[in-house]
């Protein structure tokens, strides 16, 4: 009862806050789109992408290492080891953040000339570099400590409130006519206002409760360094997968193209929201069953996650793919309609990337993180090659295809490794056949009613089309017996 109730309560909170965060993130992008030109919008995200990749080297893998070993110290009630970790953590990040700022400021004119190729870009670059340096040293620490304390609700609350504050302050700055500085000022103000409040909470829950615990002579610093250094390449490759398309588009095309692409990407990623919902519900149970050697029950859960995740995300992505023009028309200004073709490709890519996300969680659940590291590094290298090649040939769509191909290859490699390394897993590939069959019929029906019966000319027609096609899809998966009462029995009883 305890585990089930914790999972259910945690999932409810995560779903609610994730939806609100997604809405606030969309409103922020919309606010940017209506107040900036397509080129300025592209310039902003070209700078953000570069900075987000560069700040990976401020913690140099120490964030995840700190979470791991600080949690261990708290479990052992080792106050001395915990204080040593804190001193090392902040000392290291202060030095690397200072080095990061020195490099960015001294190279800002070079970056402006050869990467941004735009006058005025250096000021935005330096402003964002200062913010993200502060973010890595101070603001990020709030999120890290909530993870150490396993305070999911506080973590989500901080994430939600900073997104809402960012939206409000950016809106005010745009109203004041501050232009491209508006989101930068919004970032500073939203975090500076929240930091004292959440810092007080962290002090009460973390520091105040760990001042009189027993100590030990265990030196965690060498372990932190070893763990962190082993994960740097993995983290860098992850950022390459997320941002290499924007880097290459910035270098090889123009800011208008970058702006269009960075409108399509967040829309295409919407289906990935379901990944966290499904995994939070079922992954802890899968790990528990594996540890208890209940392999048959574990495989039932794994196939259940795969089934419902694919049943959920594929039709959403298909709808985005077929109606990309209409979706962009209603979500953003008409200047961004040129992102339609990229959105179609990225919508398909989101299906594959969500499956890959689930596979990485499986590897971690079975204590095989080194496999994830190798696959991500492989994907990062492939992504660089395909981005450079395809963007030079087909521009905007080349970046989208590069993402699609990279994730497809990573999923293929992951499935091969599952077959060879995780022999205890038994994935029901017949489910994939049924789900793909239902979605092919769904896509054909959706295309037919969109072009022949209900021409998409307004929001009402778009909604009606979605409802009619969704009804047919539900009928099809019911006829194929993809949804059964037995699924609920699997969730609520662990044999």
- The single residue listed with the structure tokens 């109606």 is 323
- Residue 455 in this model has a pLDDT that exceeds 70: no
Q: What percent of the chain has pLDDT over 90?
A: 35
Place 3 in a pLDDT band, splitting at 50, 70 and 90: very low
- For the chain, what are the domain ranges? 1-219, 231-495
pTM score of the predicted model: 0.87
Return all residues near 69 (Cβ < 8 A) that are at least 6 apart: 81, 85, 220, 223, 224, 227
Place 145 in a pLDDT band, splitting at 50, 70 and 90: confident
For the residues of 35-51, what is the DSSP string, one character each? HS-HHHHHHHHHHHHHH
Interval 9-22 mean pLDDT:
73
Span 107-116, pLDDT tens digits: 999 999 889 8
- What CA–CA distance (Å, rounded) separates 259 from 40? 8
Please report the pLDDT score of residue 495 as a whole number: 45
Q: By CB neighbour count within 10 A (0-12 exposed, 13-18 middle, 19+ buried), where does 312 fall?
A: middle
Span 278-303, pLDDT tens digits: 665 556 667 667 777 777 877 887 88
57 vs 218, more confident = 57
Please report the pLDDT score of residue 5 as a whole number: 54
- What CA–CA distance (Å, rounded) separates 372 from 363? 7
Span 297-354, pLDDT tens digits: 778 878 888 888 888 889 989 999 988 988 898 889 999 999 999 999 999 999 998 8
30 vs 235, more confident = 30
Mean pLDDT over each residue of the chain, to the nearest integer: 84
Torsion of CA 62, 198, 147, 374, to 10 degrees: -40
Distance of CA 264 to the CA centre of its chain: 15
Interval 472-493 mean pLDDT:
72
């Amino acid at each position: 009862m305890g585990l089930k109730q914790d999972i259910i309560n945690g999932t409810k909170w995560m779903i609610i806050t994730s939806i609100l965060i997604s809405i606030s993130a969309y409103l922020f992008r919309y606010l940017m789109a209506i107040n900036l030109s397509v080129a300025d919008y592209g310039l902003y995200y070209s700078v953000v992408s570069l900075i987000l990749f560069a700040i990976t080297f401020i913690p140099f893998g120490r964030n995840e290492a700190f979470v791991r070993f600080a949690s261990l110290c708290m479990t052992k009630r080792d106050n001395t080891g915990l204080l040593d970790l804190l001193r090392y953590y902040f000392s290291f990040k202060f030095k690397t953040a200072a080095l990061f700022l020195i490099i960015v400021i001294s190279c800002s004119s070079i970056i402006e000339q050869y990467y941004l190729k735009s006058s005025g870009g250096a000021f935005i670059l330096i402003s964002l570099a200062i913010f993200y340096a502060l973010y890595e040293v101070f603001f990020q620490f709030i999120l890290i400590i909530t993870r150490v304390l396993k305070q999911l609700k506080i973590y989500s609350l901080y994430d939600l409130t900073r997104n809402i504050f960012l939206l409000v302050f950016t809106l005010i700055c745009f109203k004041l006519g501050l232009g491209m500085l508006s989101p930068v000022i919004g970032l500073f103000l939203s975090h500076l206002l929240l930091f004292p409040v959440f810092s007080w909470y962290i002090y009460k829950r973390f520091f105040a409760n760990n001042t009189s615990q027993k100590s030990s002579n265990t030196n965690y610093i060498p372990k932190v360094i070893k763990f962190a250094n082993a994960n740097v390449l993995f983290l860098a490759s992850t950022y390459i997968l997320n941002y290499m398309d924007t880097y290459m588009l910035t270098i090889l095309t123009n800011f208008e193209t970058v702006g269009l692409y960075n409108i399509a990407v967040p829309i295409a990623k919407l289906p990935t929201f379901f990944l966290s919902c499904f995994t939070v519900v079922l992954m802890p149970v899968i790990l528990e069953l594996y540890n208890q050697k209940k392999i048959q029950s574990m495989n039932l859960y794994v196939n259940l996650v795969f089934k419902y995740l694919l049943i959920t995300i594929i039709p959403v992505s298909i709808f985005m793919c077929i109606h990309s023009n209409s979706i962009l028309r209603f979500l953003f200004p008409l200047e961004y309609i040129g992102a339609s073709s990229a959105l179609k490709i990225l919508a398909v890519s989101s299906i594959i990337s969500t499956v890959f996300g689930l596979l990485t969680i499986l590897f971690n659940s079975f204590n095989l993180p080194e496999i994830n590291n190798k696959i991500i590094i492989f994907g990062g290298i492939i992504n660089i090659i395909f981005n450079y090649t395809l963007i030079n040939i087909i521009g905007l769509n080349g970046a989208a295809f590069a993402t699609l191909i990279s994730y497809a290859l990573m999923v293929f490699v992951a499935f091969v490794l599952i077959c060879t390394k995780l022999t205890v897993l038994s994935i029901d590939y017949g489910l994939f056949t049924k789900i793909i069959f239902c979605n092919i019929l769904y896509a054909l029906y959706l295309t037919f009613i969109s072009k022949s019966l209900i021409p998409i000319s307004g929001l009402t027609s778009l909604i009606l089309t979605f409802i009619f096609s969704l009804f047919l899809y539900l009928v099809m998966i019911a006829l194929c017996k993809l949804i059964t009462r037995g699924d609920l029995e699997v969730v609520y009883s662990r044999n």
